[in-house]
Amino acid sequence: MPARQDGGALHGGAPRVVWFASESDPRTVSARSVAADLIKEDRPAHLVWHPGTGEIVQLLPATRAARLLGDHVGREGRACLQIVVVGQARAPFTGTLLAGLDTIVRWLDAWGIARRWPAGPPLPSPQSYHARRTRRDWARGGHFGASQVPVVDRPDPGAIDIRRITGPDTPVAPVPRPRAPIPEPATGSRLVPRAQRNGDPVRQPDRPSPLPISKTTADHPPPSASEPVTVGPRAR
């Protein structure tokens, strides 16, 4: 089912794939119907996959950009493949049969996409709205959830089991914590050093040592205020 329009030429860089969720009920919706909706909305992905039935629909060639990520970020990489999975972020698709997954992963391997998740496992929805979306992770290439793509505000695909996609040997990075604002201290409260809050002794700052007193000054202290001060002969 080819789309009428793609996202343009790719700009080069590390190859990657981004996983989306269609946010539709996989019990009543087919991959073909989701693909038709994406074409109608002029937002085609490269693939639409139904993990319950194994149905796979390709809309665009891998050598052209798709349109779900926007015109700029979606064109980054020698390959920036976008896969829409029929399902919902609140019910991660890796809990289903995953029929046809091996075919998709081998296809991704053929395009040089490393079996790694630089940003770690995607967060569950709706916490994923506040996930880290760093350029550093994105530049490494590999597999990403849509919620981990820079400048993209999406919650999907949810808390998927990444090892069910890229294999049991996939290194699992710590789950990224969502960003949270720093709370303001209460009015009149006193800030306590972190070490003191944890019960550790607080190291006092080093005080500067007193300046050394020269021997001449020590042997000849300055005169007191009651003693006259001789300043030498007066000029005539």
Report pLDDT for 217. 41
Report pLDDT for 205. 47
Residue 9 lies in a domain: no
Nearest to 117 by CA among 152, 151, 147: 147
Residue 211 lies in a domain: no
The count of domains in the chain is 1
Neighbouring CB atoms inside 10 A of 232's CB total 5
Q: Kindly report the pTM of this predicted structure.
A: 0.73
Q: Residue 7 and residue 29: Cα distance in Å, rounded? A: 26
Nearest to 82 by CA among 29, 154, 180: 154
Report pLDDT for 224. 47
Report pLDDT for 30. 98
Report pLDDT for 218. 44
Residue 111 lies in a domain: yes
Note down the domain range covering 68: 16-166
Residue 130 lies in a domain: yes
Residue 107 lies in a domain: yes
Here the CATH number for the domain that contains residue 31 is 3.40.80.10
Residue 114 lies in a domain: yes
Residue 180 lies in a domain: no
Report pLDDT for 172. 73
Report pLDDT for 203. 53
DSSP letters for 135-180: HHHHHH-EEEEGGGSTT----TT-S--THHHH-TT---PPPPPPP-
Report pLDDT for 90. 95
Q: pLDDT tens digits, the chain, 236 residues: what are they? A: 888 899 999 999 999 999 999 999 999 999 999 999 999 999 999 999 999 999 999 999 999 999 999 878 999 999 999 999 999 999 999 999 999 999 999 999 999 999 999 999 999 999 988 888 999 999 999 999 999 999 999 999 999 999 999 999 998 766 556 555 545 545 444 444 444 445 555 455 455 455 444 444 444 454 444 444 444 444 44
Report pLDDT for 54. 98
Report pLDDT for 173. 62
Provide the Cα torsion 182, 188, 192, 198; round to 10°: -80
Report pLDDT for 4. 85
Residue 8 lies in a domain: no
